[in-house]
Structures are given as C-alpha cells and as structure tokens.
Amino acid sequence: MKKINAFIIDDEISAINTLRGMLERFFPQVNVVEEARSVSDALFKLQRNQPDLVFLDIEMPPFGTGFEFLEKCQNPNFGVIFVTAYPNYAVQAINQIQPWGYLLKPYSVAELSNTIQSALAKIEQTEHEQRANPTSQSILISDARKGNVVIKVGDIIYCQADGATTDIFFLKAGKTTRFTASKTLKDVEELLPNAIFSRSHHSYLVNLGFIERYVHTGRNGIIHLRTGVEVAISVGKMEAFVASFNNFLSTNGQ
C-alpha cells in the first residue's frame, strides 16, 4: 500500500484532532507528517516536510486564510483539499486553486473517502507522467533567503557542494540563476532522478542534458556545459559518470 504524506492546517485543534483520528482509523495509507494552526506556522513547517497533500482550512482568524498560505508558498508542489465550515468559498477555491477536494464541516467518512480516492488517483497520474518524462518533475527546495523555491528538474544545470549547503544553478527566463539550498549535495542528489543527473565529483552533480562534451585530462576529466561552465570529473567518479552519460545518450537517442 502506497503511503502519501499529508499536512493538516486548521486554527481549531478539535478539527485537527477529528481529521487526524478519521485518517488514522479509516485511511492508513495517509500519513500525517505535520499540523499547524496558523499561516506562519504552516509556512515554517513546510520547510521540514514536502507533503503530497494538504488539508487546508480557509478561515483562520486572526491567523490569516488558506488562500494567503497558498499565495506565500509560491507555486505549491502538492494537492489541496479544502476543509471549511463556509460553503460560500467553494467557487473562489475552484477558480483560484483548482483543489483536489472540498469538504464542508461537519463531513462524513464517506465524503472524506471520496476526496482521498480522488487525491490518490491524481498522485498516481502525476507519478506516471513524471516517470515518462523526468525532466518535467519539480522539486521544492528550502533557501535561507528566498524561502521555499519550486524548481523544474529539467531547468537545473548543475549543483555544487558548499559544506552543509548546496549551490544550485538553474535556468530562469533563459539566464543562469543561483541560489543556496539548505541541504547537502547528497540530500539534493536524492531528490533528483539519476536517469538525468550524475555525480561527476564529490563537489558536483551535473544535469547530463546540459553537457556539450567532456574530455579526459589524464585520469581525471573536464565537463564542458552548454552554458560555458566547466565542471570537474574526479578519478573515482569517472567510470560511473561515463556509464551514466552513455546511458543517457542512448536512452534519449543522441
């Protein structure tokens, strides 16, 4: 049974406890990883976990609204099920967010089940599309200055380790942009598909699709990227890099 990670955001602790209890009893495939009672707390906790699904209240006075939370997320990379006592928000929610579900409090187990089944179907469809085209995937990265940033995998050129953080270089509006992720290079590597990314050096992770050519320099090597940047290949990574690059070329018909 596939597990999906969920985040509950509601200003009423009783509502959180009710939903959590129903999920634990009737829907073991849904794992609640976080809960929050305000917009600011939700944004903070979002940096620690990347949920597949968010159960989101709309009115949370005086702590903001669910719409404000989504606006501050900057292109959220998760599905949303609104859970609210206010039916008048339904049209606004559908027009602005296109949620995966809309639960009106108090809701039944059957109503909750329908929204969860819809969410599972959408997650499965998304995963199928991403397997077919890994460059279309997006990842959510936490940056100390910019907050949570959503980046399309295919736009990442290369990543460079800087101790406990990682500089990620990616294309934005046709120009190379850099930001520093609050993750090690190993952590970033685990987020990216190994079909298109290769660790050429202990300090570098490269998008194979951006490689123009590479050359041997003795037992080491140099990668020339299409953006004009040169990236090192270490002795220890040479064999694995060459195998990854050749597999990438054959898979993509290049």
What is the C-alpha separation between 92 and 90, in angstroms, rounded? Answer: 6
pTM: 0.58
Task: Return all residues near 5 (Cβ < 8 A) that are at least 6 apart.
Answer: 31, 33, 49, 50, 51, 52, 53
Q: How confident is the model at residue 131 (pLDDT cuts 50, 70, 90)?
A: low
Cβ atoms of 56 and 37 closer than 8 Å: no
Question: 127 and 201: one domain?
Answer: no
- Domain holding 241, by residue range, is 143-251
Look at residue 206 in the predicted model and tell me its pLDDT.
96
Look at residue 193 in the predicted model and tell me its pLDDT.
86
Question: 200 and 121: one domain?
Answer: no
Domain endpoint, select from 102, 132, 162: 132
CATH assignment of the domain containing 84: 3.40.50.2300
CA distances from 174 to 156, 192, 210, 220 (A): 12, 21, 13, 31
Is pLDDT above 70 for 74? no
CATH assignment of the domain containing 189: 2.40.50.1020
Is pLDDT above 90 for 35? yes
Q: How confident is the model at residue 248 (pLDDT cuts 50, 70, 90)?
A: confident
What is the C-alpha separation between 86 and 27, in angstroms, rounded? Answer: 25
Domain membership of residue 138 (yes or no) is no
Task: Report which DSSP code applies to 217.
Answer: E
**185: exposed, middle or buried (C-beta count within 10 Å: 0-12, 13-18, 19+)?**
buried
Is pLDDT above 70 for 253? no
Domain membership of residue 137 (yes or no) is no
Look at residue 173 in the predicted model and tell me its pLDDT.
80
Cβ atoms of 176 and 156 closer than 8 Å: no
Q: Of 72-81, 219-228, 242-251, where does the model show the most confidence? A: 219-228
Q: How confident is the model at residue 134 (pLDDT cuts 50, 70, 90)?
A: low
Is pLDDT above 70 for 7? yes
Question: 9 and 123: one domain?
Answer: yes
Question: 24 and 76: one domain?
Answer: yes
The pLDDT tens digits of the residues spanning 216-235 come to 998 999 999 999 999 999 99
The pLDDT tens digits of the residues spanning 41-57 come to 998 888 778 788 999 99
Cβ atoms of 229 and 214 closer than 8 Å: no
Which residues lie across from 223 on neighbouring strands?
Answer: 214, 231
Number of domains in the chain: 2
Is pLDDT above 70 for 243? yes
